[in-house]
Structure 1
C-alpha cells in the first residue's frame, strides 16, 4: 500500500471588495459579472451594457451600502470567512486550511498555492454554498480547473458539491433558531430567504430551488413547525427577467395584511453574514415589513463561525479524507 497523501482544505466563498470604495467595488463587480456562470448573455451585448450603464450606475450605490456594513477588521464576508477557516483548522488539527474566493482576493490560486507550498497533495474543496447552483458551486469548479490548467503538478481534488440536507447542517440551523428564540421569544412566522437565480436557469436544469425546498422542509421538521409557521422566499433579484419566486420583499410586504405582524427571518443559503444579509435583509426588508404594517421584524444571523457549523464542515471534510 502507498503512503497516504497529505491533505488540505480549501474553503471557498464568493468574494468581496477589498475596500468599501467605488474603485474596489468596481473591480470586484466587474470580475463577478463577467463570469458566464453568473450572466450568460452574449459578450458583445453584455460587456458594453455592463461597462457603459450598469457599473457606472450601481458602483456608487453599492459602495455606500458596503460602507454601512463594513466592520473594523474589513468586509463582513471576509471577516467571518477568516474566522471559519481559523476555527476549522483548530478543529482538524494537522490538516491545513486555506481560504479562496471565486472573485477578488484571496484568489483561488492564492489558496491552492498556499496549500501546495505546505506539501499538500490532496485538496478537499468546500464551497460554502449549502444548496448547489451552477451560478455559485459550478463557478468554483470552473475557477479551480482554470487555476490548475497551467500547473505542472496536479493535486488530487475532492469537491463537495452541496450539503443542503446534511443532518448536521440542519441541526446547526435549528440550533441557531432555538437559541435566538430562547433569548428573544418566538415570532409568529419563520421566513427562510434564499438568494435568487433567474427562473430560466432552474428551467434549464439547475437543482438549486429543489435544494432550497428540501432544506426548508427538513428545518421545519427539526423545529416541529407547520406550514403556517414557516415558509421560504428568494431575494436579491437583478435585471428584468423573472427570477425564482416568491420574492422576499413582496412576501414580507403582504404579511401584515394577511395577519402576520411578528416575523423572524433567516438566510440558510448564506454561510456567513454579508451585504445581502446585513443590509438587504436586516435593513431594507425590515423597513418594507414595518412600512406595510408589521410590528416586529427580527433577523437571525447566519451560522458564521458557530460551533455546530464548524463541526458540520469538519464532518464533511473527514468524509473525503
Structure 2
C-alpha cells in the first residue's frame, strides 16, 4: 500500500494523507467470542436488543430479556455452540468461514483491481464490529466503500440492520466516505446456479423424495407490514427447482429458528420434516439458501435438532447440504454483485 504523504503545496505541519482507495466490506450476522456464559450473554444481549430483530417496546421487552432470557439462554446457547466450535482456531465456524470468504474475495478483487481496493469483513453483532472495521478502512484511505451484507434475501432484521450499523459507523467519521449498499441477490442466475450445483455435488445422481429449503424464520406480522423476505425466499426456491429441472412438488419451502410466542412464517421446518416422515417420506435433503455461511442455525439446528425430529418420526435418510461458504462459485457471485456496484469507482 502506498504510504501517506503531505499534499504538495501544503504547510509542513499539515497531516499526512493516505492515497484514496475503494473499500469492499462484507458483513455477516455475528458470533460470540466464546461459548462461556459471559461471552454468550454479551452477544445475545446485543442481538436481542436490536429493535430490527425484536420490535417490542423496550419497557415491555427489556425486563423480560435482562431478567429471564439472559439468565438462562446463555447456558443452552453456549452448550450448542460448544458442539460445533472450531477448537483448533478458537472461534465459531461462522467466523472461520467468513474469514475464508474474505480472503478468497480479497484475492479475486486484487487480481481484478490491484491495490486500488481494500477488502474487509465485519459483524453486525460481536467482533469485529462494523464501527471498528469502517474506522480502519477510512484510516487506510478508503474514500468510497461498497457494502455487501451476506444475506441473499432482504429482510429488515438482517440486511436493513446491517445497513443501519454501517450508517451509525459513518456518523463517527470526520471525513465520511461515499458508500453504496448492495441489493439482495436471491434471484441472480449465478447464485441460483451455485445453489443447484451444490445440490448436485451433495446428492450425486440421487434425487430425494423431498428437498426441504429451510430459511431463517421471522414473525408473520413482518410480512404483513411490508417486509419482502417471504416472497424472495419463495422465488429462490422456485428458481432452484427450475435450475435443477425437477418436477413440481419436490422442493418444500419452510422456516426455522422460531422464537417467542407469536406466529412466525410457516411451515416450521422442525415440524414439517416430522410430518413428512409420518406421511411415509423416508428420504429427504435439507438446504439453507438464506445462509451465506454455515453457522449455529445450520450445523447445530438443522443437522442436529431438525435431523432428530425427522428420524424420531420414522424418517431414515437425511442429507444436509452445506451452505455455499467459500466455494469458488459463491465467491464469483459476490464478485458479480460487487462489480454491479463498484462501477466508476475503480
Q: Give the shorter-chain TM-score range.
A: over 0.9
Instruction: Identify unmatched segments of 5+ residues in structure 1.
Output: none
Query: Is the radius of gyration larger for structure 1 or structure 2?
Result: 2
User: Residue 80 of structure 1 contacts residue 304 of structure 1 at CA under 8 Å; is this kept in 2?
Assistant: yes
Q: Which residue does the alignment assign to 1:194? A: 215
Q: List per-residue Cα deviations over 1:176-195 (Å, max 9, x = no partner).
A: 1111122x833221110000
Query: What do the CA deviations read for 1:118-143 (whole angstroms, capped 9, x no partner)?
Result: 21111000000000000111101110
Equivalent residue in structure 2 for 1:26, among 41, 51, 64:
41
Residue correspondence of structure 1 range 266-285 to structure 2 within 5 A: 266-285=287-306
Structure 1 partner of 2:152: 130
Deviations 1:8-60 (A, max 9, x none): 11110110000111110100000111111011111111111001011112110
What secondary structure sits across from 2:168 in the alignment? helix
Deviation sequence 1:131-172 (CA, Å, 0-9, x none): 000011110111011111121111110101311101111011
User: 304, 310, 314: which is aligned to 1:289?
Assistant: 310
Q: Which runs of 4+ in 1 moved over 6 A?
A: none
Indicate the residue corresponding to 1:68 in structure 2.
Answer: 83
Count of aligned positions: 317
- Whether contact under 8 Å (2:21, 2:118) holds in the other structure is no
In structure 2, what is the equivalent of residue 239 of structure 1? 260
| Residue aligned with 1:154, SS | coil
Distance in 1 (CA, whole Å) between partners of 2:290 and 2:266 is 15
1:139 lines up with 2:161 in the alignment:
yes
Which moves more between the two structures, 5-14 or 171-180?
A: 5-14
Which sections of structure 2, spanning at least 5 residues, go unmatched?
1-18
**What residue in structure 1 maps to residue 192 of structure 2?**
170
RMSD value, Cα = 1.2
Within the candidate set 237, 251, 264, 2:272 is matched to: 251
The alpha carbon displacement at 1:107 in A equals 0.3
1:78 matched to 2:91? The reply is: no
Q: Which residue of 2 aligns with 1:215?
A: 236
Report deviation, 1:5: 6.2
**Counterpart Cα distance in 2 of 1:257 and 1:27:** 40
Return the alpha-carbon distance in structure 1 between the equivalents of residues 289 and 206 of structure 2: 20
Of 204, 215, 226, which residue of structure 1 is paired with 2:247? 226
Match of 1:113 among 113, 120, 135: 135
- Equivalent residue, structure 2, for 1:17: 32
- SS state at 2:173 partner: coil
Deviations 1:46-83 (A, max 9, x none): 11100101111211000000000001221011100000
| TM-superposed deviation, 1:108 | 0.3
Q: Is the Cα contact below 8 Å between 1:266 and 1:299 reproduced in 2?
A: yes
Offset of residue 320 of structure 1:
1.1
Instruction: Give the conservation status (yes or no) of the 8 Å contact 1:16–1:75.
Output: yes
1:93-133 Cα deviation digits (max 9, x unpaired):
13211111111100001221222222111100000000000
Q: Judge which range, 202-211 or 111-120, deviates more.
A: 111-120
CA contact (8 A) 1:137 1:161 kept: no
Distance 1:161 1:114 in 2: 24
Does the alignment pair 1:161 with 2:183?
A: yes
CA–CA separation in structure 2 for the residues paired with 1:90 and 1:67: 32
- Contact 2:273/2:306 (8 A) holds in 1: yes
TM-score of the two chains, using structure 1 as the length reference: 0.96
